[in-house]
Chain A
Amino acid sequence: MKREFPLFVTAAVGLFMILSFFVPHQAVSVPADFLQQSAVIVVAFGYVLGGANVLRVNFDGIYRRRPDWPYKLVLAGSLLATLAIGAIEGRGFQSEGTRFMWIYDQVYSPMSATMFALLAFFIASAAFRAFRIRTLEAGLLALAAMLVMLGRVPIGNAWTQWLPEPVRLQGIQEWIMDIPQNAAKRAILIGAALGVMATGLRVILGIERSYLSGED
């Protein structure tokens, strides 16, 4: 029951989902649709579980007075406050003017955007300190990067406006994206597809069992 039953469920459900791709009859499509609905519901419970785990870990840190425990208090407090406000607000929690949407607009949204905006600074710093051209291949990478970077923005076209269109930076950039870049990306796509199909079949047939983590 601890390992065999889950392996059986994975195999049965996985094979049924593959079958549903080929068989449109409702004897297959209705159960397949039900399985997908079930997966949607279980995944949603998974997000709730994730949040509960964050609380558990941080409460533990606060109780044991781990380093930075005051910040963990901020984390736990803001999590519980958001939960409480969202629970009180009910189904219309995303309607305009609710306190929950205020938290989303003025706290979650700007911080989410700013966290990723920091990357612009680090990518510039890494370009200076870590981008080392020591081989021909690295040189090709750098050349392609610079041609694409300059060709994709207006300044590239402004600098090379005097040239015929196909050899302007924009034209060169488009050719790089359409031909050599496309060829390599397609090769990677096809290779990755083969890998995913193989791994999918391994999981369904029970050869790959890493998702059953733990002992037993």
Chain B
Amino acid sequence: MSLHLSHDFGVWVAALLTLFIFSFLYKDNPFYKFAEHLFVGVSAGYYIILNFWTVVVPNLWDPLLQVFSGRAGAPFAASLGDYRGWLLLPGLLGLLLFTRLFGRIGWLSRWSLALIIGVYAGLKTTGFAQGDFVAQLQGSLQPLWGRGLAADLSAVVFTVGLISSMLFFFFSREHKGALGAVSRVGIVFLMVSFGAGYGYTVMSRVSLLIGRFQYLIGDWLGIR
């Protein structure tokens, strides 16, 4: 095993910032605070620039410039994917969002929010209905026998778990008697599910740490 320190200034900057953030594990300190604030500032600047050059300019500015410089034909003759002068509407709504920063005319931003909320409410309603409701109910209708003992037992356990877990979330009646008994079975399945989720969460968090150590060992210290 040998050490080959990186000669790249950028790698040293990245490594030092990484160590500044790790220093929080000992206790809060000025190095961590500096790195934290630097991160927030750079992130905010990055998001603004990214959205400006990848959405506002190509999807709004460029088409409008083409229309009003006469290169695109009739300004309001729209077709699928080519909305020409109609793009003035989202442009105006986008600018109206900034009225939130000024108290007295802040209510104008609600018009922009109304468009966003309407589009996403519509998309989410149909998306969840199709992908999470209909398809999942369809997939739950499986044969409970005829595929071998192990598969049949698993199918029965699955169906019992599904029905009991769904009934646990039925709060219109008190969980007493038969409903109470079934709900308690549902709790067992839900606890197993949360435990599995916890196990996978641990795996995910540890993976992130492994990634940083791989960077420090490999790219910065060059240990081979």
Contact = CB atoms under 8 A, between A and B. Distances in A.
Interface residues of A, number: 130
* Interface of B: prevailing SS: helix
A-B pairs, 9 with minimum CB distance: A17-B122, A82-B45, A144-B195, A13-B118, A183-B161, A86-B49, A148-B199, A45-B94, A78-B41
Contacts of A2: 107, 110
A145 B199 contact: yes
Contacts of A104: 46
Contact of A196 (B46, B90, B125, B215): B125
Greatest chain A CB density within 10 A among B47, B90, B111, B124 is at B90
B94 A179 contact: no
Given A34-B83, A111-B18, A197-B128, A149 B114 contact: no
Interface of A: 2-3, 5-7, 9-18, 20-21, 26, 29-30, 33-56, 68, 71-72, 74-83, 86-87, 90-91, 93, 100, 102-121, 123, 127, 137-138, 140-149, 152-153, 166, 175-194, 196-197, 200-201, 203-204, 211-212, 214, 216
B2 interface: no
B38 interface: yes
A201 B10 CA distance: 51
Interface of B: 10-11, 13-15, 17-18, 21-22, 24-25, 33-57, 59-60, 78-81, 83, 86-87, 89-91, 93-95, 97-98, 100-101, 106-107, 110-126, 128-130, 132-133, 136-137, 139-140, 150, 154, 157-162, 165-166, 168-169, 186-203, 205-206, 208-209, 211-212, 215
